[in-house]
Structure 1
Amino acid sequence: MAIDYGRQSAPRPHRVPAVLRAPLAGRTWREFLYLMLSLPMAVLFFSYAITMTALGAGLLITFIGVPVLAGALVGARALGAVERVRARGLLGLEIADPEPIRPRKGHSGPMAWMGAVLKSGASWRHLLYGVLHFPWAVGAFCVSLTMTLVGWVTLLYPAYAWVYPEYGNQPGMQLYGDSDGTAVYLDNPFEIGVTCAAGLLLVLVNPWIIRGLTQVDRLLVTGLLGPSRLATRVWELEEDRGVVVDTAAADLRRIERDLHDGAQARLVALAMDLGLAKEKLEEDPEAAARMVDEAHGEVKLALQELRDLARGIHPAILTDRGLGPALSALAARCTVPVRAEVDLSVRPAAAIEGTAYFIVSELLQNISKHSAARTARVDVWRSANRLMLQVSDDGRGGASTAGGSGLAGLAERLDAVDGLLVVNSPVGGPTTITAELPWRG
């Protein structure tokens, strides 16, 4: 996961207060429409849930009840999908689909599918939503419709008060009447003004009542029609496992390539040179000595390449002395002057140390190759149960995690260990990249 915190201008304050804008705001009327549509949807969902559940439970004495219940749950999931679409369109509620129905590995066929449906917690939550949402939808429908109609009718009363004496043969809207002929009408300016003021109050309060009602709907949809926290976590772990496997495979390919193109090729050439030197040993001892001397130099280079390769996998200094000395040694090899400060009283888990070392190594390589920086800085510290890394430079900036860049790969690697990468790199610099990892000491 990567977040780019660029500079953003603060939103300009609106001249009209929110309480005055709310009655005419699009959000208010979308939420009102949602509550109006909730009643017919709730009646349909409730009737389906009760009927199908009762039918399936009653038929459980025979085998027919099992497929009936499974079909009821599938239908509930379909109705739940409609509810999620409605909530997404009218409430702006972004909610993921629940976990799909998956038969156990190695099992297939109708029986395996029905078993997976009946064991699916998400399916039963959909059915529960159909039962629980009905009484709430009835109450929310009545409250929102009554408040909206009464508020606007009374607020706009002065605009249509003339209709009653003109066409209704009465002085105004009748508030009370009995069989004795006693009646109370809104027929004078004071009463009309009070009515209008009461209507204005209702109209101003009504949007917040509607928002409160739809907030309950949001909780119901999120809690019962979305994926469970456990299922979401399982999905995240499955994705992270895939990232870890891909990363490990990429690392193995890189090591294989480095060995093949570097030390292995050099050792093959060294063996050939030593073979030639052996053949010339008796014929031309001086030439053989020169060839052995050259081979000695090749051995040193091969050893250096192997040391660099081993250091890139997991440097010995990191294992022996910890993150501070390892990062100081890494900073000393960078082509840009780097100041490294590590403030850790204890060491985190070895896997976290290795990931932190790799992240800093990659970021320093990026600085050397792309930043045109004069100086850089590495800071490492602990914050609660998190290990914090920050690498900054005074280069030209413009770093981004978009477009499959190296930073995107680092973000995926961090995400695989529940970490986070934050990039702040405006064009022209400076660049500050912060990585956050779990401590796991």
Structure 2
Amino acid sequence: MTMPSAAPRLPGAGSTSPTAAGTGVAAPFLLAPYDRRTWQGYGFLWLALLLAPFALAYALFTVSFMAGVAVTVVGLFVAGGVLLGARGWGSMYRRMAVRWLGVEIAEPAARAPRRGFWRRLGSMLGDSTAWRSLLYMVVTFPLAIAGFVVSTTFLAVAAGFMTHWFWSRWLPLQQASDGTWHRGASFGTDWFVDTPARHLLLVAGGIVLLYLWPQVQRLFLGLFRLLATGLLSPTRASLRVAYAERARAVTVEDADERLRRIERDLHDGTQAHLVAVAMQIGEARELLRDDADGVDTAELAAVLETAHSSTKDTLAELRELARGIRPPALDAGLAVALETLAARAALPVRVHAVGLDGADLPPSVTAISYFAVAELVANATKHARATGVDVVAGVEPVADAATGAALTALVLRVHDDGVGGAAVRAPDASGRGSGLAGLTDRLSGVDGTLRVVSPAGGPTVITVTIPLPAPGGARR
């Protein structure tokens, strides 16, 4: 079985990436002026300054154009198209933030076209992603100017101070109040940097400014990160809607696949056996009809025996098919169902159920938990080359991945001593992926998550967490 830890969870709006590729992690103070990330941040300020006037002009044009054509319906459609163009600006700024600022920002959900004239117009003019992108373009205009000017001033003055001893020889002579002539930078009317001691003092000041420059620049880059994370990432409400739509689609696909499998099993197995039984009974009837006076009892008994055996095989297949739809053991509770599953497994499975006897589990949670464990045990048997599996099931307090609130969840841990190296494999071009990827999708239908720890060489521990509704409340 293959899979890196993956779970269908509600992602956050964005976070700082602690990778060296971005500027999200501060360089050591003594190395900061020479660190690639510092200069990468300075390059971002340059790029932000170059784009800021065009972005501001687009934002102001969009708002003014929308106000000007508000009296016409057709004009509003054009204005809506211009507004949706802000999504492109937002996407560009989002990529800049990821590439240059080292933040992780989730892509907003794609805009779903609405049916109907007014609904389509309303969805265009009310697109929150476009409006938030416009707001980012407006508020970052003064920030881009201030950040670039302050950062460049610190860097330029630092460089000028440290190299003054060299280029000051080409400065024009200046006369002090006492009539003496000096060549060098002047501070006030009579203090000139034209002696070795004063040159060294200026160099020291330049070094101080050089080391302050990355720290000051980080303040502006931090503001850019906050604005990008707050305005260019999807809202939590839109993430929940996209998550719910995905979970609903997965549930529908899973139900359709189950129906197809049942139809295939009935057609290829049970139906074929019933046809054989019908033919055998027909053969017995023909024997009775043709030899009414002298029936060959031995031949007739053989035909009926074959029909009886086929009937029992058909009943066994029907029981197995019904067990695959919903195992009867689930009526006795999840703990009993898991014990039954362990008894029928192809390798030793030890079940440790903690506190499940008194737990009031919804039928949907019980069923999907059973099938999740069944698939994980089957994977351990087929792919992990394990010699044994431990299943630990219990109700535990956990923290909600989206809000951090405390809630109660059914937690299933499947531990095998196989070869490890598990990873979720996304579907390829042919639509084939790992069974665990499909299990992850099915768990999303009940807000479940799946986490895998599987180092090379094993062991593998797969944890399934399914939130439970509060007592007396409905599942969120």
So what's the TM-score if we normalise by structure 2? 0.78
* 1:364 partnered with 2:365: no
2:442 to 403, 413, 417: 413
Cα deviations across residues 167-189 of structure 1 (Å, max 9, x unaligned)? Answer: 54465642423xxxx32123344
Q: Deviations over 1:205-240 (max 9, x none)?
A: 322332231222122223323433322322232222
User: Are 2:347 and 1:302 aligned?
Assistant: no
Q: What is aligned with 1:163?
A: 167
Amino acid at match of 1:285: T
> Per the alignment, do residues 74 and 338 of structure 1 end up closer, same or farther by CA in structure 2, a change over 3 Å counting?
closer
CA distance in 1, matches of 2:67, 2:449: 48
* Deviation, structure 1 residue 341: 0.7
1:259 CA drift (Å): 1.9
Task: Tell me how far apart the structure 2 counterparts of residues 366 and 81 of structure 1 sit (CA, whole Å).
Answer: 40
Q: 1:264 aligned to 2:271?
A: yes
Judge conservation of contact 1:339–1:378 (CA < 8 Å) in 2: yes
Contact 1:150 1:199 in 2 (8 A): yes
Q: CA deviation at 1:50?
A: 2.7
Question: Structure 1's 172 and 328: CA in aligned 2 closer, same or farther, altered over 3 A?
Answer: farther
Q: How does 1:119-138 map to 2 (within 5 A)?
A: 119-138=126-145
Residue 391 in structure 1 maps to residue 395 in structure 2: no
**Deviation digits for residues 407-435 of structure 1 (CA, Å, limit 9, x no counterpart):** 22222222443333333334443332222
Partner Cα separation in structure 1 for residue 317 and residue 463 of structure 2: 31
**Which residue of 1 is the match for residue 149 of structure 2?**
142
Q: Which has the higher contact order (CA 8 A, sep 6+)?
A: 2
1:377 has 2:387 as partner: no
Instruction: Give the partner amino acid of 1:370.
Output: H
- Check if 1:77 corresponds to 2:87: yes
Contact 1:126 1:224 in 2 (8 A): yes
Structure 1 residue runs of 5 or longer lacking an equivalent are: 6-10, 12-16
CA deviation profile, 1:331-366 (whole Å, cap 9, x unmatched): 011121111011134132211111111111112222
Q: How far apart are the structure 2 equivalents of 1:415 and 1:27?
A: 38
1:424 aligns with 2:453: yes
Change (3 A) 1:416 1:200: farther
Displacement of 1:166 in angstroms is: 5.7
2:322 is the counterpart of 1:336: no
Offset at 1:96?
Answer: 4.6
The Cα RMSD (Å) is: 3.1
**CA distance in 1: counterparts of 2:389 and 2:349, whole angstroms:** 5
Residue range with higher mean Cα deviation, 217-226 or 51-60: 51-60
- How much does 1:114 deviate? 4.4
Q: Is 2:364 the counterpart of 1:351?
A: yes
Mark the CA change 1:19 to 1:237 in structure 2 (over 3 Å): closer, same or farther.
same
Residues 85-133 of structure 1: CA deviation (Å, up to 9, x unaligned): 433442244545544444422x36xx77544321222222222223322
Listed as ranges, the matches of 1:1-400 within 5 Å are 3-4=4-5, 18-61=28-71, 66-67=76-77, 69-105=79-115, 107=116, 114-154=121-161, 156-157=162-163, 160-165=164-169, 168-169=172-173, 173-177=184-188, 182-281=189-288, 283-318=295-330, 320-343=331-354, 344=356, 345-384=358-397, 385-400=408-423
Residues 343-396 of structure 1 show CA distances to partners (whole Å, capped at 9, x for unaligned) of: 134132211111111111112222333333222211112232332222122233
Contact 1:388 1:434 survives alignment (8 Å)? yes
Relative to 1, partners in 2 of residues 1:270 and 1:414: Cα closer, same or farther, differing over 3 Å?
Answer: same
Q: Distance in 1 between matches of 2:69 and 2:312?
A: 82
Question: Once the two structures are superposed, what CA deviation does each residue of 1:220-273 show, in whole Å capped at 9, x if it has no partner?
Answer: 223323433322322232222222222222211221222223222222222222
8 Å contact kept, 2:45–2:144: yes
1:183 and 1:65, CA in 2 relative to 1: closer, same or farther beyond 3 A? farther
Residue matched to 2:177: none
Answer whether contact 2:5 2:451 (CA < 8 A) is retained: yes
TM-score normalized by structure 1? 0.84
Change (3 A) 1:264 1:87: same
Please give the alpha-carbon distance, in whole angstroms, between the structure 1 residues aligned to 2:209 and 2:301. 103
CA distance in 1, matches of 2:249, 2:441: 10
Structure 1 position 287, deviation (Å) = 3.2
Q: Aligned AA for 1:197?
A: A
Give 1:328 shift: 0.5
Query: Structure 2 CA distance, aligned partners of 1:412 and 1:75?
Result: 33
Shift in alpha-carbon separation, 1:113–1:260, aligned structure 2, 3 A: closer
Aligned to 1:14: none
Quote the Cα distance in structure 1 between the aligned partners of 2:465 and 2:206. Answer: 54
Q: Distance in 2 between matches of 1:367 and 1:48?
A: 57
Measure the CA separation in 1 of the matches of 2:363 and 2:73. Answer: 55
In the alignment, residue 54 of structure 1 is paired with which amino acid?
A: S
- Please identify, of 215-224 and 355-364, the stretch whose mean Cα deviation from structure 2 is larger: 215-224
Specify which structure has the higher proportion of helix: 1
Aligned length: 421
Q: Distance in 1 between matches of 2:104 and 2:309?
A: 64
In structure 2, give the amino acid aligned to 1:411.
T
1:8 is aligned to none
